[in-house]
Structure formats: C-alpha cells, structure tokens
Amino acid sequence: MDDTDSIPSRSDLLDQFERLFGSRTPDFERQAEKLQQLRRRVSEQRGEQFAEEWYEVYGSPIELGRLAHARWTELGPNTKRHVVDELQLADPVGEEMNYLPASG
C-alpha cells in the first residue's frame, strides 16, 4: 500500500500479520502463549520491571492485531489506517529477542 491517503484493506492487515507473526492467519492465542514464555525468560535474565516493559511493547501488536482482525469490517477508515500504521512500526517477536527496543 503506497498511497498514505488510501484506506487500508484487509489484505494490508494480513500482510502485517505475515510480517509480524509469520502467517496471514495467526493463532493469536498461540502468539500470546509464546510471548508469555519469552516474558518469563526476559524476567529471569533482566528482572521483572524490564520484563513488564518488554511485554507491553511486544504484547500490544498481538492484542491490536487480534481485535482488528475480529472487527475489521466495523472499523472506520482512520482507525484502519492507525491499526496498519501501528503494526508497521512493531517488531516481530522472535526467540532471540530479549531486549527492549529504544523508544523513538
């Protein structure tokens, strides 16, 4: 999607899911479980406060994606744009991640 004024389509949303979760139809429950496992490891390695912040950063795209997927047809154009923009800014969660990205 190149035109910043266009309304994002469901396909645009699914493209972000594929980039973030490796699937256009992610299992959000499984993603949340995986994130909880990683959070426990981060807590052991870096402490609870760091883990809470880490979890908030990486958990937000999962929750946003889950809600947007369930209610995409009900969302207005500005909300769709905001959702896709937020997901584009998110980093994929991977096994190797045990850091909190610098905030912009």
Q: Residues 22-34: pLDDT tens digits?
A: 899 999 999 889 8
Q: Residues 49-58: pLDDT tens digits?
A: 999 998 988 8
> What is the model's pLDDT at position 94?
61
Tell me what percent of the residues of the chain surpass a pLDDT of 70: 84
Q: Which two tokens stand for residue 38?
A: 């990683």
Rounded Cα distance, 51 and 33, in Å: 15
Alpha carbon 28 to its chain's center: 10
- Is 31 within 8 Å of 70 (Cβ atoms)? no
| Domain range annotation of the chain | 10-89
Q: Which two tokens stand for residue 68?
A: 């947007």
- Give me the sign of the Cα torsion angle 63, 65, 70, 76: positive
Residue 61 confidence (pLDDT) above 50: yes
> What is the model's pLDDT at position 60?
92
CA angle, 42 as apex, 38 and 47 as ends, to 5°?
150
Name residues whose C-beta falls within 8 Å of residue 69's C-beta, 6 or more positions apart in sequence. 13, 17, 28
> What is the model's pLDDT at position 70?
96
Q: Which two tokens stand for residue 72?
A: 């995409």
> What is the model's pLDDT at position 91?
85
Please, which pLDDT band fits residue 103 given cuts at 50, 70 and 90?
Answer: very low
- What pTM did the predictor assign? 0.77
Length of the chain: 104
Strand, coil or helix: what is 8?
coil
